[in-house]
Amino acid sequence: MEGSADRQSESRGLSVAEHDLLRWLLTRGAEITGADTARATAFLPQLGFLRVVGRCSCGCPTIDLSLEELSLAVAADTETIADVEGRSPEGTQIGIILRAVGGRITELEAFPRDGRVPFSLPTAEQLVGFF
């Protein structure tokens, strides 16, 4: 994570693709994985206040996130909000995990299941629940 040798510091707002994927994970992604959708949608107000503060250096699109408005944190410890799989636009088999720590969205992890990097974030249509 932050400060790790495989992470690079970054400071920017969410891209449109990241925002759209996060929204989908908090709504449809949680639903198809059997997660508590009410719990997942409680994180939706955070979307407008997230900043990218780091990224993985391996070539995957994993990003570390920071919530700028701490009053939007929900009552929670560490949790996986959504866990899905699919294919990237380049055809790489991938997994996507959305994590929260302390009631704040902290990481959008995207990892290759077949080892192929680099790859970019998928669209919602390219993802399914992980069972």
In a domain, 130, yes or no: no
C-alpha of 24 from chain center: 10
Give 37 or 83, the one with higher predicted confidence.
83
In a domain, 114, yes or no: yes
In a domain, 129, yes or no: no
In a domain, 87, yes or no: yes
Is it the case that residue 119 has pLDDT exceeding 90?
yes
pTM exceeds cut of 0.75? yes
List the domain range (segments joined by +) for residue 118. 7-122
Is it the case that residue 41 has pLDDT exceeding 60?
yes
Give 28 or 14, the one with higher predicted confidence.
14
* Residue-level pLDDT at 33: 67
- Residue in 71, 42, 67, 36 with CA at minimum distance from that of residue 53: 67
Q: Using one digit for the tens of pLDDT, what is the confidence trace for 61-103?
A: 999 999 999 999 999 888 899 889 999 999 999 999 999 999 9
| Pairwise CA distance, residues 87 & 94, whole Å | 5
* Residue-level pLDDT at 5: 58
In a domain, 19, yes or no: yes
> Tokens 């920017």 correspond to what residue?
12
In a domain, 1, yes or no: no
Longest Cα–Cα distance of the chain, Å, equals 39
In a domain, 28, yes or no: yes
Residues in Cβ contact with 16 at an 8 Å cutoff, skipping those fewer than 6 apart: none
Domain count along the chain: 1
In a domain, 72, yes or no: yes
